[in-house]
Amino acid sequence: MKLSRGLLATIIIVGVLLIDQIVKIWIKTHLYLGEEIVITDWFRIYFIENNGMAFGMEIGSKLFLTLFRIVAVSLLIYYIIKIRNRSYIKTGYIVCCALITAGAAGNIFDSLFYGVLFNNPYPPEIATMFPDGGGYAPLFHGKVVDMLYFPLFSFYWPDWMPFVGGQYFLFFQPIFNIADAAITVGIFILILFYSRYLSSPVAVDEHAAHEEGTSSGKSDE
């Protein structure tokens, strides 16, 4: 039985959200802030929190960021509902939109509820869920949990290099979570394979209408 594209998008969004939150809650309740688990030289679990957007970036106030995420996710869900049954829209494009929506929603949950659900003890104490004394922040002001760290390689720039000579360089420095990864993968595949839907949606509609007209014309002959 073939899944409808609306149901496929729903499964992706719910699945990514569940995995993202299960991992974050486990990290929050089993590691202290700043604790690191070295799995390999290039893959580590490193528990940090941030107030900002993907990969620890910070733009504007915390309340503004949370409200912005809610509006963005609402628009994305509306957009997926609107395009899910359009035959000329590729299923892969809807999957990308679902991944981006799921990732944004995952970080919204942290911002909305984590300040209320958890306390924020000093290391090496570990956070408690539903603490007796209440959470560390009100609604909309929770911090986003990050833990995935991939320091793939590092080196020192040669001294003769302008501006960076002698400086230490580490790739890849950002620490992120599964929600961030879903957003990144969704955007990367979308740009790589489905950029025509972004660059000129009107042209895509006109092309689809032309194809439908051509096919109907052939069937009348």
| Cis? peptide before 172, omega within 30° of 0 | yes
Chain Cα centroid distance, residue 63: 19
146 is catalytic: yes
180 is catalytic: yes
Q: How far is CA 190 from CA 103, 193, 197, 209, in A?
A: 15, 6, 9, 23
CA dihedral 70, 74, 79, 82 (to 10 degrees): 180
Residue carrying structure tokens 């991992």:
23
Beta strands 168-171; 153-156: pairing state: antiparallel
Catalytic residue among 146, 159, 205, 220: 146
Catalytic residue among 20, 41, 110, 180: 180
Beta strands 153-156; 144-149: pairing state: unpaired
Q: How far apart, in whole angstroms, are the C-alpha atoms of residue 58 and residue 54? A: 9
Q: How far is CA 195 from CA 123, 140, 148, 206, in A?
A: 45, 33, 28, 16
Kindly state the helix (H) or strand (E) to which residue 133 belongs, with its residue range: none
Q: How far apart, in whole angstroms, are the C-alpha atoms of residue 101 and residue 12? A: 9
Q: How far apart, in whole angstroms, are the C-alpha atoms of residue 59 and residue 192? A: 27
What are the catalytic residues?
146, 180
